[in-house]
Structure 1
């Protein structure tokens, strides 16, 4: 009998991946509903993820993002709706038949097995020939920069190295989809940033469709092709990191993703632009950024980096007094009292230590806004 030909691992180049466009749908969810008892964890969620895409499910604890990942993996069963992977209906297909790789938050390595045996576990379960297992394990360990670590036990590795082993184990089976459930949450900040860069680099080389779960906004914005923002079992917005940050579609997204000031205002008029009143001052905005009817009271969302401090003058939108500084290393957050906005205070983000001396506590300042960092939403009705 002829020996099976071992297919060598060859990462795809960026040019080769570009040639795949238009891409096929790798994962599709249609009106997926999931309940736990009387509680609805997911409310008819629909989502399409394209081949080779890096998509992040972002939201606070309890929003349904891990439940959604578990449904894709087959670890949970939907109460309604359909799930497709690579065009195949898998709603009732067990996990081991879905051709997915998964990395858990706690790594889930077998402590009694060597690194090499951990990485090769999925291949052994698939009855891959021993020679091929050895070669693919070696390739996977090289991919995650763990050459020569195959005989060690997980207890002999650092947290970051254990995470690499878990990633190698997920990738060695050549999955159609890679699922990652908050894989870096146990790592310290510097190691976390390093692993983010490594994961994104590996994902680009392989071109593997990746679904990543996190509650960390910075992680989602820096790594993703698209971000799915979730809250209370609902998808609130799907878009590129830039769209999510600069063009939020509802108040939750505007307040959850990144730092923001929320200021009281009123929608005064609309022509080619929208006029919003802050205090007694008119602010002109692109009309599509104001999600309300003319005359409505508003919450106006302004990113701290999109507020400009200057001397009080006729071009100032608002007058303010500096009340505090918060030094953050690469920038300073300057907190301000704005009498025209009542009890509302805001903060401005400035780079450079000279901001501390240019704007000491007690200094008066004039404020102007870059409209790129401003959007507004009608106040939600108060519950009686």
Structure 2
């Protein structure tokens, strides 16, 4: 290694990124489509590491919002993290990811999340597991019988329905106090609705997007504001039962389909885990939703070696469904937490588990149960892989 530097990836470096990507993830995908998509990140959200003039690592940042406690929180989704094989184990990945964290600060993302290929690097930089992506399998014939066809009317959706789909999803995630689901940029939703391989149907209070996958049908997302709409949309998917025997569905473990379907989902549920990190702790607390009936006053001592602005003594106040994290004087009753413990706490991991793992220490004797109530709620989940 001669001169390792972090750079913003330029268009003429995309072929080099592609080569590192192939050596990292294996062959697959359309090179031209990948390059077309990569160009949309060249507003400061595509970083690389070069050794002299040679690009040896890269990563991209998606401009997401993410639901937390039923409120939208800006989140930088880290994707396409690749390091050339001959540079692994030399600190190149850490150098790049530290630059990614700082760029998330610069872009104003209170949170950052990713799907890890390895946990060692990301935990070292303060990420921790926060939720899951679930893929369940149902009998298509079972879903077909959920509606008699005389209830909620559904129609085919198109590009012009992108805003409507985002609005319907927003209403339901707010009502359910969802944590974890992503809010994609409207342009991406329009692209999905234009893709002839996707099938989208919409009702007054819900929608479904699904496609074919290896002889099965696969539901990417189904949102419903009522039992009747849920039945109608799932039955629309199940109407393909004469060809597809199985419907693969990305949905949370508490989705109503688990109560509506006559037979339980297949036992071989696929689960992917994703990790979270707080980039701006006060902003992450201020934008998150909390239970309306819970009140908390607690002191925290955050030690964040990668993002010093988070480090210090803080006072956490929660009331009326909102929270604030403000600077405070040191106190012997402060809950001591690092970035991994803070991310896990934010995602609702019980204090008993965090203490058993050594991720939090100290704190007032009677505060754990209230903290659990404040950060608890529906299990965090994502529907999308990025």
TM-score surpassing 0.5? no
Taking structure 1 as the reference length, the TM-score comes to 0.27
Higher relative contact order (CA 8 A, sep 6+): 2
Q: Which has the larger radius of gyration?
A: 1
Greater per-residue helix proportion: 2
Taking structure 2 as the reference length, the TM-score comes to 0.27
